[in-house]
Chains A and B, each alone.
Chain A
């Protein structure tokens, strides 16, 4: 696109500058505000993470002390373990659910549009709403367990919401319900773009539908799978609203996640330096996912232009 239009202005005359001031303002002010806030806010938060700030930001240098304090805290350790479990379970299960839904919808079934709308509607509601509703359904006193008890099966037990070891799975359930539709939409678009001739050729060679899927169609989906995984991981790493509404980190601190630790340190304990350090740690986790993805995208693009 660098050769788009030869409109890159040279050094404009002063009168020209005045005449074109409105357009310069309109182009630069919003973009600069956005870019400057991104860069300066990030740098400022990183700087605060190296200061002894508590209630208010102060200058000073404590090296990595905030980081070691956060990393050594039980809160963060639990949050990090939870993130590993929640992140992998949620990403894997929602990708599988989305893929199964996409394959089912790809069978030229009636009512495909209506079904697609049903699987996608949770994406239109807020995580607060999702979390609140699932907190009712999963609450053993009033939700699914109570219903089954009232129906007569009194030994039925489904109390993950108040079980320290299982509570994190309630977040996995709600997150899958909310965002499998997204994976489905991407996979479905991928399935629809597979060359029909290749499929026909496979069928002529005598491959059954399952074999055709397994050998011919699914292998073409792996770039989409990577995109799905990265986007879902991005959500998992910064998940806040959903947990806040569903378990609020409880029981105890059993469902703590990094974003909740950041909020707790910054605004409930007024430990700004440590809160900033926790935020930077979140950013680092995110970069550990995004940088390899960006590198992969770059290689893909180069290969595409060379081919």
Chain B
């Protein structure tokens, strides 16, 4: 191995220091999730577990009480899954079809409607809060998971259509033209030609949608309450519920559990995650 120049040593030193800072919050929460509430109360949030209190995870998963219900974080995790998974699938599939229609099939008014749909990337949620409240109440979906699925599917279309459209415009139009001359219709071309070319963009879109819907808070807390809330809203309710007698060990375990699905997806699909980030930025 060749000798490291002092300049290189300095670079490694700085990078490691910053990396340690970035990892510290995660490390603190993981360590705390293994310390008992008493142990944390005696010292600070930052410390090494004296013995591993795995019981925090059991309590966080199915024990502690939010409001009057003592079922842990499990029902809220289930709510989040029941909202996130269908909304991700619907918005991705519909976005793929729409992106294909706008980029390759072309139809009267396509540029117009695509332009309006992509405005959804910028419109603040606050502009839609009241109308959604009224629409959901009128169709009887206020305080239901179905209502949240509907919202995230319709709003997600702005992102999924953009992602897929930008990917599909690179497909040579001759491919589509030839298929049409052979008599293939809209769906057959989508099924036989477009979908087989789509896995990379579908993975990017699914990861993006899953992460965003799972992490979403404002709609969850506005349109649902009590037992219907997603896990982000439940975490806030938990902090409020234990404000008098903090249970930092159990709360840390709950935070880890709530963050785990998106963290796992990030670890497994990091490359696609980053691609979604940059694609979303250069809209």
Contacts and interface: CB of A to CB of B under 8 A. Distances in A.
Interface of A: 1, 4-5, 7-9, 20, 22-23, 26-27, 30-35, 37-42, 44-45, 48, 57, 101, 104-105, 107, 109, 115, 117-130, 132-137, 139, 142-144, 146-147, 150, 177, 182, 185-186, 189, 227-228, 231, 234, 237-238, 240-241, 244-245, 259, 262-263, 266-267, 272, 275-276, 278-280, 282-283, 286, 290
Contact of A34 (B8, B157, B246): B157
Contacts of A23: 185-187
Interface residues of B, number: 90
Given A32-B113, A227-B281, A240 B101 contact: no
B130 A27 contact: no
A45 B128 contact: yes
A5 B127 contact: no
Given A20-B186, A129-B258, A143-B44, A240 B173 contact: no
Contact of A124 (B22, B28, B157, B265): B265
Contact of A31 (B25, B40, B113, B134): B113
A6 to B, nearest CB: 8
Interface in B156-175: 157-158, 161, 169, 173
Given A127-B217, A133-B255, A9 B130 contact: no
Interface of B: 8, 11-12, 14-15, 18-19, 22-23, 25-26, 28-29, 32, 40, 43-47, 94, 97-98, 101, 103-108, 113-114, 116-117, 119-120, 122-132, 134, 154-155, 157-158, 161, 169, 173, 176-177, 180, 185-187, 211, 214-218, 222, 232, 235-236, 239, 246, 248, 251, 255, 258-259, 262-263, 265-267, 270, 273-274, 277-278, 281-282
Contact of A128 (B127, B211, B235): B235
Given A107-B11, A124-B266, A39 B116 contact: yes
A37 B161 CA distance: 16
Q: State the main secondary structure of chain B at its contact with A.
A: helix
Contacts of A42: 123, 127-128
A143 B45 contact: yes
Given A38-B123, A150-B44, A259-B126, A30 B266 contact: no
Given A22-B187, A107-B11, A147 B124 contact: no
